[in-house]
């Protein structure tokens, strides 16, 4: 397979220049969205982003990490956005690998059987996305 590297100058004056700019804006928006989610999760749990990204196994930090991973991965279903963050990208945000993110997401889905955990996650999603997020969250948990 051959790889062609193009610079912005190579795209100038072509149809692809517009698409390049759109892709760049989408990448910036995705990054802002996931950082916003991470900030909100940290504020909800009363910890810092640095704490969430640390290697600590304290219960509240594990819960914050897991809920962040779940929301970041299922954001397309929860708030109707058209993209999904990759497991690797989410893991990079919290200094974990993709398999840890998979485990965290599955754990959140399993924990939502218990009313206490479900309420905690609902409150967090409500603080992020409002009531529309809650309605879609109910659908995500049932999947």
Q: What is the pLDDT of residues 12-40, one digit of tens each?
A: 655 455 555 555 555 555 555 788 888 88
Cβ atoms of residues 80 and 86 within 8 Å = no
Please indicate, yes or no, whether the overall pTM of this predicted structure exceeds 0.75: no
| pLDDT of amino acid 21 | 59
Closest residue by Cα to residue 125 from 59, 80, 88: 80
Q: Angle at Cα 56 formed by Cα 86 and Cα 100, nearest 5°?
A: 30
| pLDDT of amino acid 68 | 92
| pLDDT of amino acid 121 | 84
| pLDDT of amino acid 143 | 46
Element of type H or E holding 125? helix 115-129
Question: Residue 134, CB half-sphere, CA atoms under 13 Å: how many?
Answer: 10
Cβ atoms of residues 86 and 56 within 8 Å = no
| pLDDT of amino acid 64 | 93
Q: Which two tokens stand for residue 136?
A: 């879609």
CA separation for the pair 117, 27 (Å, rounded): 32
Length in residues, the chain: 143
| pLDDT of amino acid 114 | 85
CA torsion 56-102-86-136 (nearest 10°) is -100
Instruction: Spell out, as residue ranges, where the chain has pLDDT lower than 50.
Output: 1, 15, 143
C-alpha 26, offset from chain centre: 15
| pLDDT of amino acid 72 | 85
CA separation for the pair 118, 111 (Å, rounded): 7
């Amino acid at each position: 397979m051959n790889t062609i590297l193009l610079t912005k100058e190579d795209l100038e004056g072509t149809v692809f220049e517009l698409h390049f700019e759109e892709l760049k804006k989408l990448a910036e928006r995705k990054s802002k969205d996931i950082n916003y989610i991470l900030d909100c999760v940290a504020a909800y749990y009363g910890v810092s982003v640095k704490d969430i990204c640390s290697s600590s196994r304290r219960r509240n930090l594990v819960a914050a990490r897991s809920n962040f991973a779940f929301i970041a991965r299922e954001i397309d279903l929860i708030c109707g956005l058209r993209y999904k963050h990759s497991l690797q990208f989410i893991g990079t945000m919290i200094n974990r690998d993709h398999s840890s993110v998979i485990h965290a997401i599955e754990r959140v889905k399993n924990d939502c059987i218990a009313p206490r955990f479900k309420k905690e996650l609902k409150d967090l999603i409500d603080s992020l996305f409002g009531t529309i997020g809650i309605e879609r969250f109910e659908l995500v948990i049932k999947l």
